[in-house]
Structures are given as structure tokens and as C-alpha cells.
A and B are shown apart, each in its own frame.
Chain A
Amino acid sequence: DAGVIQSPRHEVTEMGQEVTLRCKPISGHDYLFWYRQTMMRGLELLIYFNNNVPIDDSGMPEDRFSAKMPNASFSTLKIQPSEPRDSAVYFCASRDTGTSGDIQYFGAGTRLSVL
């Protein structure tokens, strides 16, 4: 498998614009996690899904953030409207409770810059 695939790798946008980050988890994995990494706050969990259903979104910073998982092979994280403080690296990770157990596999991340 190619691993967790995130797109785009880099995104530069202007304040107020809508941003959509995409994630393709490893095939067969039943959990999907979205994390944000900043110098100030480190790696923090935003939201996670189990079998495409959002389970815990308590880490989502504001209503401007939303996430969906329409099927087992695709998830999006949307920010609308974007603000400069949203600039960060966003990671998606997936996990298979069956074969790999506890291990979360991370994608390469999307570096978001909001000007």
C-alpha cells in the first residue's frame, strides 16, 4: 500500500478564503484522525472517525473548521473562512484495529499558509 496520502502538500491562501485538505487513508483501515502541528501547540488531535462516522470533534478549534468522511477511502478537512492563525501543518493518520492494532500511520502532511 502507498500509505496515507494527503493533498495538497502545500497550500498558500489569503485570509478569508476557503481551504480544503484531503486525505486518503490506508485501504482497510477503520480509524482516521486529523492532527494539527504548530510550534506553539505541538501536535494536537482535531477530530477522528471510526468507520466513516465522526466520533470526537472536541479538538476542532472553531466552527470555521469542519471535517467529513463520505466513504472509507476519503476524508476532507475544511476551513472557511481561513485566518492567518490557521497556518500550520495538518496531518491525517489512519489505523486498522484488526491487523496493525494500536499503530497509527501518518501521512506526509499539508503545510498551510494563510496570508
Chain B
Amino acid sequence: GENVEQHPSTLSVQEGDSAVIKCTYSDSASNYFPWYKQELGKGPQLIIDIRSNVGEKKDQRIAVTLNKTAKHFSLHITETQPEDSAVYFCAASKGSARQLTFGSGTQLTVLP
């Protein structure tokens, strides 16, 4: 089955700096890659996603890049703010059901 590896497990940045989280996947058939943000005591919430026919997608301060050949994708957050502090999960999926295989998560802390 699919295996998703995520790095780093923890990341601290100064407010205003950029943060980058990287994931690799094993199944070349995977074609949908969402990123979720999970705040303490809450369920994961989608922040951005990308499909395999696209190399990059941007939404304001958040961007995701995908390299299908290398089977890795990354989340980029620019101009970080304290409210960006949370756990971020990458995931991969394929097929019509879109069942997700998650990475292990990254605890992002934005220091004021």
C-alpha cells in the first residue's frame, strides 16, 4: 500500500519567515495530495490540495509544489504568523474513493 513520509517532525520559525514542509510518497498511482492543518483539540482542516496534473498551486501565503518523477511534494508558507502555529499533515490518495494515507505530521511553531 501507500507510504507517506513527512519531514521535519517539528519546525520553529520567526514570525514573518517562511516555512517549508516536505513529503514523499511511494505509490506512483497516487494522484491527489491534500494538506491539512490541525489545531489543538480540533479535527484536521484542509488548507490546500494539488492534483497530479499540476506542478504548483498557490493560495495567498500558502503554496504547494509537486514533483511526480521524484514522488515528493512540499508545502510552503510565507510571511508566517503566530496563528499558523499548528500540526500540518500531508496526505496522498488515488482512486475514486479518495481514501487518504497521511504523513506523520509536522508541529509548526511561529515565534512572535
Contact = CB atoms under 8 A, between A and B. Distances in A.
Interface of A: 4, 31, 33, 42-45, 48, 50, 55-56, 91, 93, 95, 97, 102-109
Given A43-B44, A43-B102, A102 B49 contact: yes
Nearest to B33: A102
A107 B43 CA distance: 6
Contact of A45 (B32, B36, B100): B100
B68 to A, nearest CB: 17
- Categorize the interface residue count of chain B: 20 to 34
A55 B97 CA distance: 9
B98 A45 contact: no
Interface of B: 32, 34, 36, 41-46, 49, 51, 89, 93, 96-105
Given A42-B105, A48-B97, A95-B98, A103 B46 contact: yes
A108 to B, nearest CB: 5
A104 B98 CA distance: 9
Contacts of A31: 97-98
Contacts of B97: 31, 48, 50, 55-56
B43 A106 contact: yes
B5 to A, nearest CB: 11
